[in-house]
Structure 1
Amino acid sequence: MKHDKRTGASETRREPYRWPQAADWPAGRIWYGGDYNPDQWPECVWDEDIELMKRAGVNVVSLAIFSWSKLEPREGVYDFAWLDRVLSKLGRAGIHALMASATASPPMWLTQSHPEVLWRDERGDVAWPGARQHWRPTSPIYRGYALRLCRAMAEHYKEDPVIVGWHVGNEYGCHNRFDYSDDAMRAFQDWCRRRYGTIEAVNEAWGTAFWAQHLDDFSQILPPRYIGEGNFMNPGKLLDYKRFSSDALKDFYRAERDVLRKICPNLPATTNFMVSAAGTNLDYDDWGREVDFVSNDHYFAPGEAHLDELAYSASLVDGIARKKPWWLMEQSTGAVNWRPINYRKEPGQLVRDSLAHLAFGADAICYFQWRQSRAGAEKFHTAMLPHSGADSQIYRDVCELGKDLGLLADHGLSGTRLAKSRVAVVFDYESEWATEHTATPSQSVRHWTEPLDWFRALADQGLTADVVPVRGPWDSYEVAVLPAVYLLDGANTRRVHDYVSAGGRLFATYCTGIADERDHIWLGGYPGSIRDVVGVRSEEFVPMGPDEGALDHLDLSNGTVARDMADMITSVAPSAKVLVTYRAEKRTGLDGVPAITVNTFGRGRAVYVGCKLGREGLSRSLPAMMQAMGLENGQQVGDGDLLRVERVSEDHGRRFLFLFNRRARPVHVQVEGCPLVASLARLGGDGQAVVEPNGVLVLRR
């Protein structure tokens, strides 16, 4: 298996898109519900659950995600009777199910009999049972037991009309992303054979001439196990281990999927990703090619970034799904249980957050979980039916949301897609992994923060960008942003050249195009592989930090401030123009050095931002940068008070506009269509509306 070059053209194979359908369910419905864990409760509670689900408009639940020990209480002995009764009750109520493969965590009898399936950390310590995901994905023993369970479940439920799809595993890699066992070692050696072919190619890729790390045989390849405090792992090897770990879990998912598909060919399969701004455990864009439909779990970021981070993440899911409808598998109705401080949601945010995911392309809105647990590690994680029961604001909001989703479905929202933006902000999982190494110019600089800052800064200018994976079609947009995309291989470097020379408008930043896919530095100065496109050459990084006497910030001539990282730009091409410079003490050598430039390259233009400005600095700098790009005059949609998101049908006959208040104050808006949903929004008789904080207005145009 050779690693692809991560271009749009390299996507030679994706699983055909298949969306869960029910023969007895009207077309165009929006799926609504959540994880259901009836095995945590006595059967006398089930009828109440289903009655309250019906009242809330719930039409789908995910079942049996952590039920292996209940389904197979002893090795080879299965008990499906309790789950059959649950499915029968759901079916009579018109509620459908995604059936889980139930393999997310093994039963105690399995790990007691086979402790060799337990993963090991980098020091060799065992992850003992007591939580979840304590299995190693490369264990042939664990795979054998898991696939046997998949076959048994598929055979038992292959004719059940209540089931509309398979929920395979659960949040792969949430706790077992890395395993350093001998099983993992052998699998990593095989992965390197497939990727590189020869041990000489591995030596070249990992730069093993450094520190006498030369390898003579694949058997000498070890996982990046513990090397002592303060030491530095080979960066090429570590980057490849992150790739391998994503692939190892993906191979386990594919094995489960293929067993289920062979027996139940008509049921689509998915697994719940964990896409968020900082959620980079696995290469979810690569995984997106392996599911019949993309699904995601997303939990809100507390504080003022709540809505923007949610919108950014949902847009990235839309990019991974290539603008096909996707499934929001998990979110919270309020507080979660796993943060040091588990903040509640403010009034309106339960409905607002769900409608935001819907706006960015989700055609299924679900939660973890239906009924809040009374015991266990997640007992303080809120649910659709909280500890306080049906007489609660959370449950009333859940019912309100169910009505809103039904109304939007009646008006034809389902099946429409997120309208393509003018601007693509590029995100790259492998660039994030590479910047996580402990021997970089600054540990304060990571790839993932820069795309989020750009998304928010563009929103401040009234522009809602699409977040597009580096493999995706970012070069089909009018404007593309490469924000600290540290790794640019030869293929993507050519894409950048072709895009701008053909007339594209490019924003590129510090820490872009520094290394190739092996984490080998492009020589000749930074940004190595695209210096000619951006028209500048930098000789050094200028990290900044809090140490006494060190440079902790740089003032720019446009009034903004750079922190953490800047480039020492020493030459500017004749075709480039300096827009902004640094203002610094003469002793630093940075006074007057270019900070932001614009270059003409072919028929296009490229702005280079040579420092970390953050959301605020980018927002203040964008108008002048866009003007230098020739994008001024009428290009802005608004002033950033509202996040505007539009979904359209393929023939553009149906258009739905979502307006979200981004501020902590009421925002006035001109109504541009027929109002359908108004949550914390008031309609006036003069074509105006007021959207309150945490409010949303949905219009059909």
Structure 2
Amino acid sequence: MTKRREFRWPQPLKGEEARIWYGGDYNPDQWPESVWDDDIRLMKQAGVNLVSVGIFSWAKIETSEDVYDFDWLDRVIDKLGKAGIAVDLASATASPPMWLTQAHPEVLWKDERGDTCWPGAREHWRPTSPIFREYALKLCRAMAKHYKDNPYVVAWHVSNEYGCHNRFDYSDDAMRAFQKWCRKRYGTIEAVNDAWGTAFWAQRLNDFSEIIPPRFIGEGNFMNPGKLLDFKRFSSDALKDFYRAERDTLADITPGRPLTTNFMVSAGGTPLDYDDWGADVDFVANDHYFTPGDAHFDELAYSASLCDGIARRNPWFLMENSTSAVNWRPINHRKEPGQLVRDGLAHLAMGANAICFFQWRQSKAGAEKFHSSMLPHAGEDSQVFRDVCELGADLDRLSGEGLLDTRLAKSRVAVVFDYESEWATEHTATPTQQVRHWTEPVEWFRAFADNGITADIVPIRSDWDSYEAVVLPSVYLLSEENTRRVRDYVANGGRLLVTYYTGIADDRDHIWLGGYPGSIRDVVGVRVEEFAPLGDDFPGTLDHVDLDNGTVAHDFVDVITSTADSARVLASFKADPWTGLDGAPAIVANEYGDGRTVYVGARLGHEGIAASLPAMLDSLGFDAPLPDGVADVAAAGDVLRVRRVGKGGEFTFLFNRTHHAVDVPVDGEVVVASLAQVDEAASSVRIDVNGVAVVRDRD
């Protein structure tokens, strides 16, 4: 198990009380100095108490090699600090300046065809370049020495969104680093041959020098899956190694200042193994941008819960989110009224003690000029800025109520997420390209929410086996260690839900033989002989299969050919007889040791899971009482309930998940209400669409 760094949180400025941090990225170098004072006036009006500065300012700070200009940065930090606004100071290394890349084009990363990524955007550097590391660490030392005694700098913001654009590099620097990584991981070239199955297609290696990155191999060809999985692991590690070098350089000079970097955790955000990276930051920080449409709130809550799992229930920092539209989608939908406040409070409910945005003032030029901000183009006389002020007041109120001394309450249910299983399912030679690991965990989170249960989303390395009930949703890779954990958990009385595409291969992406799900067939009491992917890509192919419990399978079905004597079929497939699926088991309950399992052999979507969940939980012996004031299961999912508990008291956050107003009984004081009206006489609150209420529970 990786040793985690000691948790350290940015402390308030001298003379200030600890509050929920609130603010965003601030780019004063994009504006004339005459604007700065007005920025600070409006920040104070909005309740801002922290801004991140200097993230993309390398060219402004080191104007040419070894020529530094800190004067402008000193002035703005001084103005902010004297106004009571703390600074999260960036290492400024995210994007190298033109003078560096012109002198040293060898620091630029190369794609799989060998083409160079030229300057013109950001993150155009390769993490394995010794030359780039030399220049970046020199800047880190200069920044740390200059600001080591500055009282207004409360944290280091190391680089920015590692791997957002430079996740993969196929240069010779990367090749040499990959060879070194493989030697460290495997020890001998024969171990590499075994791990990658190089007997297939005559890919046997004689020496580590023959290892190359998974460069372009021709359209329609298939890369060795073991090699590709390891290259993804290596790429995450290579960026992490670069982060560590920056972190340690800053920490050596400023040992008392906490350091972090901003992750990009979302349902589909898997460029790096953020759970692995979580061990290397003093506090977890995340950038999250909403998914437009029906999944907006649920995906946000899911991702925030995963952040809390990565942080191991320590407070975490929402470093970026958007006040409204982003700029990088084909269609950039705005947020609906109320969603700015609700979204901020949702991250807070899930364990964040800091709510920040990209960015403070909306740019008037550049690639992100249409990205929303706290102070939009329309200025302070705008609904966005009024909502920003409302959220600031809410956070201040909750700080005063003691929320900082609470943590997200542990759920009874955990849904497991695994970065490496996602990477393995991304391969182009799989049973179907319509199935990936990442989609299933979020569907289960939504299905539990539909049934009035707020599940925890936890990384596979975490203590998932301490929960009353656990879901393994399409966890494609199960190592021997995790296989043992599954067996021990269920044998000792655990309740486990397992889905299709789980336990197919070990951590080398070698198939567990004998029928699926490989190493845990006896635990779940089923044997799957083959898969039946679904789709309409050819005329006459099955694109769905009905189940006799009223749900419908899409994309993927298991062909379960036998069940254990201890198993019981909860639902079966209904199909034409010539398909071989009619009457075959679809959902199977089993007993193993002192525990119970349910196996779901099809992709049902969150609606199908939600409809099937009561029967599955009943078969597990898992009692799931309806929330107070809820008369039936159909209404249980109208409100997502999230609790934070601790020395500061107990708080329940109530979020409306519907498109109609909902009335919720409360047992305590409503301390924050956004698009919600309190009826004190009835001890209830009416929460409108996109609304939220925060209740301080009675002692």
Aligned position for 1:642: 639
Using the alignment, how far apart are the partners of 1:360 and 1:29 within structure 2?
Answer: 17
2:163 matches 1:167: no
Partner of 1:289, secondary structure, is helix
Aligned position for 1:116: 106
Partner of 1:438, secondary structure, is coil
1:510 pairs with 500, 510, 514, which one? 500
TM-score (norm. length: structure 1): 0.98
2:690 matches 1:700: no
Aligned position for 2:396: 406
Partner of 2:458, secondary structure, is strand
Amino acid in the other structure paired with 2:664: V
2:562 matches 1:571: yes
Aligned position for 1:187: 177
1:33/1:365 contact within 8 Å kept: yes
Using the alignment, how far apart are the partners of 1:313 and 1:116 within structure 2?
Answer: 37
Question: Displacement of 1:689 after TM fit?
Answer: 1.3
Using the alignment, how far apart are the partners of 1:415 and 1:334 within structure 2?
Answer: 30
2:608 pairs with 601, 617, 621, which one? 617
Aligned position for 2:229: 239
Please list, as runs of the form range in 1=range in 2, the aligned pairs for 1:535-684 lying within 5 A after superposition.
Answer: 535-546=525-536, 547-632=538-623, 634=625, 639-649=636-646, 654-684=649-679
Using the alignment, how far apart are the partners of 2:45 and 2:322 within structure 1?
Answer: 20
1:389 pairs with 379, 382, 385, which one? 379
Please list, as runs of the form range in 1=range in 2, the aligned pairs for 1:410-489 lying within 5 A after superposition.
Answer: 410-489=400-479
Per-residue displacement from partner, 1:608-643 (whole Å, max 9, x unpaired)? 000100101000000111111112463667511000
Per-residue displacement from partner, 1:639-677 (whole Å, max 9, x unpaired)? 11000000001x5x6100000000011011001211100
Please list, as runs of the form range in 1=range in 2, the aligned pairs for 1:518-533 lying within 5 A after superposition.
Answer: 518-533=508-523
2:134 matches 1:137: no
Using the alignment, how far apart are the partners of 2:605 and 2:682 within structure 1?
Answer: 39
Using the alignment, how far apart are the partners of 2:192 and 2:595 within structure 1?
Answer: 38
Using the alignment, how far apart are the partners of 1:162 and 1:633 within structure 2?
Answer: 49
Partner of 1:472, secondary structure, is coil
Using the alignment, how far apart are the partners of 1:553 and 1:44 within structure 2?
Answer: 62
Aligned position for 1:355: 345
Partner of 2:404, secondary structure, is coil
Partner of 1:690, secondary structure, is strand
Partner of 1:17, secondary structure, is coil
Aligned position for 2:488: 498
Aligned position for 1:213: 203
Aligned position for 1:691: 687
1:363/1:415 contact within 8 Å kept: no
Using the alignment, how far apart are the partners of 1:393 and 1:516 within structure 2?
Answer: 52
1:418/1:646 contact within 8 Å kept: yes
Per-residue displacement from partner, 1:168-200 (whole Å, max 9, x unpaired)? 000000000000000000000000000000000
Amino acid in the other structure paired with 1:490: E
Please list, as runs of the form range in 1=range in 2, the aligned pairs for 1:79-158 lying within 5 A after superposition.
Answer: 79-158=69-148
Per-residue displacement from partner, 1:181-239 (whole Å, max 9, x unpaired)? 00000000000000000000000000000000000000000000000000000000000
Using the alignment, how far apart are the partners of 1:129 and 1:573 within structure 2?
Answer: 60
Amino acid in the other structure paired with 2:215: R
1:335/1:382 contact within 8 Å kept: yes
Question: Displacement of 1:278 after TM fit?
Answer: 0.3
Using the alignment, how far apart are the partners of 2:24 and 2:619 within structure 1?
Answer: 48
Question: Displacement of 1:162 after TM fit?
Answer: 0.2
Partner of 1:288, secondary structure, is helix
Using the alignment, how far apart are the partners of 2:690 and 2:32 within structure 1?
Answer: 38
Partner of 2:286, secondary structure, is strand
Partner of 1:565, secondary structure, is coil
Using the alignment, how far apart are the partners of 1:118 and 1:338 within structure 2?
Answer: 23
Aligned position for 1:339: 329
Question: Displacement of 1:106 after TM fit?
Answer: 0.3
Gaps of 5+ in 1: 1-9
2:523/2:592 contact within 8 Å kept: yes
2:299 matches 1:309: yes
Amino acid in the other structure paired with 2:653: F
Amino acid in the other structure paired with 2:617: M
Aligned position for 1:7: none
2:362/2:377 contact within 8 Å kept: yes
Using the alignment, how far apart are the partners of 1:70 and 1:44 within structure 2?
Answer: 18
Using the alignment, how far apart are the partners of 1:103 and 1:645 within structure 2?
Answer: 38
1:20/1:268 contact within 8 Å kept: yes
Using the alignment, how far apart are the partners of 2:12 and 2:183 within structure 1?
Answer: 44
Question: Displacement of 1:551 after TM fit?
Answer: 1.0
Using the alignment, how far apart are the partners of 1:25 and 1:408 within structure 2?
Answer: 20
2:13/2:84 contact within 8 Å kept: no
Using the alignment, how far apart are the partners of 2:121 and 2:459 within structure 1?
Answer: 33
Amino acid in the other structure paired with 2:282: D
Using the alignment, how far apart are the partners of 2:285 and 2:586 within structure 1?
Answer: 40
Amino acid in the other structure paired with 1:688: S
1:623/1:632 contact within 8 Å kept: no
Aligned position for 2:633: none
Gaps of 5+ in 2: 631-635
Aligned position for 1:72: 62
Using the alignment, how far apart are the partners of 1:524 and 1:25 within structure 2?
Answer: 66
1:42 pairs with 32, 47, 52, which one? 32
1:577/1:598 contact within 8 Å kept: yes
Amino acid in the other structure paired with 2:588: T
Using the alignment, how far apart are the partners of 1:633 and 1:126 within structure 2?
Answer: 56
Amino acid in the other structure paired with 1:555: D
Partner of 1:675, secondary structure, is strand
Aligned position for 1:4: none
Partner of 1:120, secondary structure, is coil
Question: Displacement of 1:587 after TM fit?
Answer: 0.3
What's the RMSD between the two structures over aligned residues?
0.9
Partner of 1:200, secondary structure, is helix
Using the alignment, how far apart are the partners of 1:631 and 1:258 within structure 2?
Answer: 47
Amino acid in the other structure paired with 1:681: A
Using the alignment, how far apart are the partners of 1:680 and 1:24 within structure 2?
Answer: 36
Using the alignment, how far apart are the partners of 1:276 and 1:359 within structure 2?
Answer: 16
Partner of 1:543, secondary structure, is coil
Partner of 2:405, secondary structure, is coil
Using the alignment, how far apart are the partners of 2:16 and 2:154 within structure 1?
Answer: 14
TM-score (norm. length: structure 2): 0.98
2:417/2:460 contact within 8 Å kept: yes
Using the alignment, how far apart are the partners of 2:108 and 2:16 within structure 1?
Answer: 45
Using the alignment, how far apart are the partners of 1:69 and 1:632 within structure 2?
Answer: 59
